[in-house]
């Protein structure tokens, strides 16, 4: 970790009584810092606010987040920015305090050293055996309970596999352990419905919004894993990796998708348009 601020103060110490430590009672956002600019800050703060409202956690003033971000990002050209909001300390037991004093955490991490071939040539995937439980109250938001993803990521340690595809308890496609999933079939871009589980990624929404400008229709639905057998090609998205093409899923190899470079270029342009230096 490069730096950390807790409630506006440089610190790496959080009270053990904080409900994030006790129960995972909180939310987080992961943002890209590239060329000294923070990407999609407004969208991330909005998703954080939406999650806070759903969980009943008071959302700090966006100006406080922006002040912390300005302090911690200053002078950094490339890094991963993480925002965490917890319900704060509240004693033993699940009952949340009536008037919580929240913890506002801003962390900066080194940029991951992913090989450029992941972007240019694609990545290899596997299916995960762990299933995502359905809970509409938590679906879409980035809450701190990530045990399903941790268990899924423990299923492999081979460096030749970059990501795992997760399904729900009805064996329907949902997402990657750290990414959203898309596949093309003809002129239709498909992505799983995330109303019962999964994370509504910021990059996912950008791709959905960009699709019509590329002559693609978008289909969001419940799909069995066999739907990928008929796909022309797959790709993954998240706020740090941007877009990774998929070259292989289990034993199946995928050819380069015609037009994928155009999607990547469009997404890069949008990322640049939504990158902020004035916090």
R_g of the chain, CA atoms, integer Å: 19
CB 233 within 8 A of CB 254: yes
CB 188 within 8 A of CB 218: yes
Catalytic residue among 37, 39, 142, 237: 142
CB 236 within 8 A of CB 181: yes
265-268, Cβ contacts within 8 angstroms, sequence gap of 24 or more: 266/210, 266/213, 266/214, 267/203, 267/206, 267/207, 267/210, 267/237, 267/242, 267/243, 268/242
CA-to-CA separations, 49 to 6, 74, 215, 216, in angstroms, rounded = 18, 24, 33, 31
Catalytic site residue 175? Answer: yes
Pairing relationship of beta strands 3-6 and 103-110 according to DSSP bridges: antiparallel
Residues 6+ apart with CB under 8 A from 152: 128, 129, 130, 164, 166, 177
Which residues face 183 on adjacent strands?
190, 234
* Six token digits for residue 264: 């990547």
Catalytic residue among 29, 39, 163, 175: 175
Catalytic site residue 142? Answer: yes
How far is CA 214 from its chain centroid?
24
- CA–CA distance, 235 with 206 (Å, rounded to integer): 14
Catalytic residue among 29, 30, 163, 191: 30
Q: Given phi > 0 = left and psi -120 to 50 = alpha, else beta, which region is 46?
A: alpha
Which residues are tagged catalytic? 30, 142, 175
């Amino acid at each position: 970790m490069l730096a950390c601020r807790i409630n506006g103060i440089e610190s790496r110490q959080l009270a053990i009584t904080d409900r994030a430590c006790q129960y995972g009672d909180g939310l987080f956002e992961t943002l890209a810092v590239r060329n000294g600019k923070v990407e999609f800050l407004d969208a991330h703060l909005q998703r954080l606010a939406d999650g806070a409202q759903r969980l009943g956690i008071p959302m700090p003033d966006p100006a406080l987040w922006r002040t912390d971000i300005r302090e911690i990002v200053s002078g950094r050209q490339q890094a991963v920015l993480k925002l965490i909001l917890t319900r704060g300390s509240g004693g033993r037991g699940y009952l949340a305090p009536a008037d919580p004093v929240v913890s506002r955490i801003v962390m900066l991490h080194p940029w991951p050293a992913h090989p450029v071939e992941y972007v240019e040539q694609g990545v290899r995937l596997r299916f995960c055996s762990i299933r995502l439980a359905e809970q509409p109250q938590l679906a879409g938001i980035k809450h701190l309970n990530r045990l399903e993803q941790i268990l899924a990521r423990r299923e492999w340690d081979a460096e030749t596999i970059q990501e795992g595809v997760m399904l729900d308890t009805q064996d329907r496609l949902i997402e990657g352990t750290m990414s959203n999933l898309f596949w093309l079939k003809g002129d239709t871009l498909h992505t799983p419905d995330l109303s019962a589980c999964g994370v509504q990624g910021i990059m996912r929404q950008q791709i959905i919004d960009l699709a019509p400008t590329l002559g693609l229709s978008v289909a969001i639905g419940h799909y069995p894993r066999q739907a990928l057998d008929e796909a022309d090609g797959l790709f993954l998205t998240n706020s740090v990796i941007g877009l990774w093409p998929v070259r292989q899923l289990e034993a199946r190899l995928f050819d380069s998708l015609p037009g994928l470079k155009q999607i990547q270029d469009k997404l890069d342009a949008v990322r640049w348009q939504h990158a902020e230096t004035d916090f």
